[in-house]
Chains A and B, each alone.
Chain A
Amino acid sequence: MTATAPARTTAGTPAGTAQVPAGAPRRRRKRQWLPYVLLLPVLVAELLIHIIPMLVGVGMSFLQLTQFYIRNWTGAPGAGLDNYRFVLQFDEASGKALLHSFWTTVVFTVVVLACSWGLAMLAAIWTQHAFRGRGLVRTAFLVPYALPVFASVITWSFMLQRDNGVVNHVLVDQLGVLDERPFWLIGGNSFWALIVVEVWRLWPFAFLALTAGMSSIPAEQYEAAAIDGAGVLRSVRWVTLPNLRSVNQVLLLVLFLWTFNEFTVPYTFFGKSAPEQADLISMHIYQNSFVTWNFGTGSAMSVLLLLFLLAVTAVYLLLTNRRRPVDA
């Protein structure tokens, strides 16, 4: 296992590249249209599946698209910036609710990211070096990721019921840690319950990515560190982490985007309306468009969310990419 890693990373630069453009220039020119034709289906699909719906969504945010107009949505009167004004009036109930939902989501995302990544890092380091049963342990870690979301999240919500749930049964009846049966699906605890479920579902992916990243770190680096007298912590800090830099850069971004947009888990966990304390932004938007039939304001919120995520992503990539040459 460890012996193959260096071979892979030191495999030389492609030697035969110079021979590729040997064909006659005329033949190449003739064929120039081919790549574009081959790309065409993808372009059309991309246009239909991503670009057009997104533009339609943006367009909808400038319309007064209530149930009076969904039948003939091209006839919906323009709303100008009214939808945006409505959702952003932070001194009124609607704006306050959006802001509350936004901050809830920010805290949720930060906690989930920290926990999932931390857990995944610990598990990946533990299983980095071969030991008996490592394959089994790794498989077990991946189980939450392999289970269907709906089935596993519904099971969590059964487990967390106040009267009949197994969690309270263990905490109150068997261990006696708590005297009162707490609520997990409503009230303040629901926020933390949702975090536990989300981390449980998300961390295996981080584990998978980090394990893959670690398997390509040359063993010599660890050996050299060991000779220099570095313990486990130091070799993690000075060998593992720097080598995982690019993996982490992508991993954290992807985890952030997924968590911030998370809909399936809270929707399955809470049903159509989440408790106030756990009102994540995508649920909030769903409530404001599909449930209350006000697609204009729902779209306006979606566009704002999109802009926010774009901004965060851009800043993140800018910062992390700028630092890379210094490190290397």
Chain B
Amino acid sequence: MELKRIRSAVALSVAAASLAACGGGGDEGSASGDDVTLTYWASNQGTSLENDMEVLQPQLDAFTEETGIEVDVEVVPWSDLLNRILAATASGEGPDVLNIGNTWSASLQATGALMPFDDAAMEEIGAADRFLAGSLSATGAEGQPPTAVPLYSLAYGLYYNKAAFAEAGITEPPATWEDVIADGQKLTTADRWGMSIEGGSVSENIHDVFVFAKQQGGDFFDSDGKPTFDTPENVAGIKQYVDLIQTDKIANPSNAEYSNGTEALADFASGKSAMVMWQAAAGSLEELGMDPADVGVVPIPAPAGAEDVSSIVAGINLAVFDNTDYKDEALQFVEFMTSTENQIALNKTYGSLPSVTDAYTDPAFQTEAVETFKSILDDRSVPMPAVAEESQFETLVGTAVKNMLAEAASGDEVTEDEISEQLAAAQQQLGG
């Protein structure tokens, strides 16, 4: 029934769009006036949608005061954001400025719905070299003007529980993946596991295995953008992840059904696990009641001799909808949101990293944890594949990994041959 509703909604919006197109040009008369109102779709970064409104509203008021441009903000939950953007793309009726998950950049770029930030546009919002190079690499396909600019930057780190480590007699955080496994086995006791993972979540799975595959030198797309899923390196990367439950036994098999994006972190916060791979989690951990003194974070280590990759370039990008009537005003707003002052204020509240280098002069971003994450973003992170099929790839491979974890959790063996078969099947489903 839901599907039917979605389908009719899409069709209706298409119909509405064509009606609007027929009567087009009616209400654009006052574009040059002072009373411009921009529509802004913000993603959910805070603890709730209301919290986001509270954080954003003062900034938007300041913008209105400065420029006379009103901003009508709507915080869109993550579960809806992509669908909303797709619907807006199909109908041509969307916001003026919007947030996108940075891994969607290349896919959305291919739709042509977002305004390319060519040199002129970049000039208008400052300069491209204001931004962190790592974050700027996740703004669209290579060789094309960025389809968005980085707004909040994030990276994965390996969080560990200092108290649990001390109790198990481990003095140093793990430096190689072999250490992670050895430490994890020491840390695993009757009421604690070495590590927790969000094994039922398609997006967490794909981010983790992508990094592991990269450490092995694997690639899911070649330089021409052709899929190359089924390679020994990718198989090894996925095996490394599944083995957390299957062979190393440092993760609870129940983790395979964790899918709402909070359970693995909650286990870590409550001491049920001693390590977790997560993006900027300090704020959430404190909210979950964990003593900040116990929280340590290091880059996710690679196996000895493998490539030193420890995270994807994660984060949120800011884009301008190409159909907007107010391109100049939209760019002014982008400039405002990425100004040093705002980057400091917003990222401090959200616990993410600023996307512009100047913001790091603020003392709030000179803590040990922030330095760790900044070094991960600068030197040890890779963008997700910048190809149009990126979101298909995430879904297909992430789902396959979820099913393999489920198998391993139920006690069936997941062999390299099977991983290879699953990857080949995922690749076949990509075409079509």
Contacts and interface: CB of A to CB of B under 8 A. Distances in A.
Interface of A: 48-50, 52-53, 56-57, 66-68, 70-73, 83, 86-87, 92-94, 96-97, 161-163, 183, 185-188, 258, 261-264, 267, 270-273, 275-276, 282, 285-287, 290-294, 297, 302
Contact of A276 (B3, B86, B108, B403): B403
A92 B426 CA distance: 11
Contacts of A57: 7, 11
Contact of A93 (B110, B113, B428): B428
Interface in B94-113: 107-108, 110-113
Given A57-B11, A161-B257, A302-B7, A86 B432 contact: yes
Interface residues of B, number: 52
27 contacts: A48-B12, A49-B8, A52-B15, A57-B7, A67-B86, A68-B111, A68-B112, A70-B90, A72-B112, A93-B428, A94-B429, A94-B432, A97-B429, A183-B406, A185-B200, A186-B257, A187-B410, A258-B1, A261-B3, A271-B200, A272-B395, A276-B403, A282-B2, A282-B3, A285-B3, A287-B395, A290-B83
Nearest to B272: A163
Question: Looking at chain A's contact residues, is the secondary structure mostly helix, strand, loop, or mixed?
Answer: helix
Interface in B169-221: 200, 202
A127 to B, nearest CB: 29
Given A258-B1, A271-B200, 19 more contacts: A49-B12, A71-B92, A86-B431, A93-B426, A162-B254, A163-B254, A186-B200, A186-B406, A187-B409, A263-B1, A272-B202, A272-B395, A273-B202, A273-B395, A273-B399, A276-B403, A291-B391, A292-B395, A293-B86
A275 B406 contact: yes
B310 interface: no
B290 interface: no
Contacts of A292: 391-392, 395-396, 429-430
B285 interface: no
Interface string B399-425: 100110011011000000000000011
Contacts, number: 133
B388 interface: yes
B395 A275 contact: no
A186 to B, nearest CB: 4
A291 B392 CA distance: 7
Contacts of A290: 6, 83, 86
Contacts of B407: 187
Given A286-B3, A294-B432, A71 B111 contact: yes
Contact of A261 (B1, B391, B396): B1
A293 B428 contact: no
B59 interface: no
B22 to A, nearest CB: 14
Interface string B1-25: 1111011100110110000000000
B1 A56 contact: no
Residue with the greatest number of chain A CB neighbours at <10 A, chosen from B90, B107, B257: B257
A297 B431 CA distance: 10
B113 A71 contact: yes
Interface in B50-99: 83, 86, 89-90, 92
Residue with the greatest number of chain B CB neighbours at <10 A, chosen from A97, A185, A270, A293: A293
B316 to A, nearest CB: 20
Contact of A183 (B1, B257, B424): B257
Given A53-B8, A263-B3, A48 B107 contact: no
Interface string B368-407: 0000000000000000000010011001101100110011
B112 A71 contact: yes
B260 interface: yes
A294 B389 CA distance: 10
Contacts of A294: 392, 432
Nearest to A282: B3
A163 B259 contact: no
Contacts of A188: 410
A244 B133 CA distance: 72
A270 B200 CA distance: 9
B161 interface: no
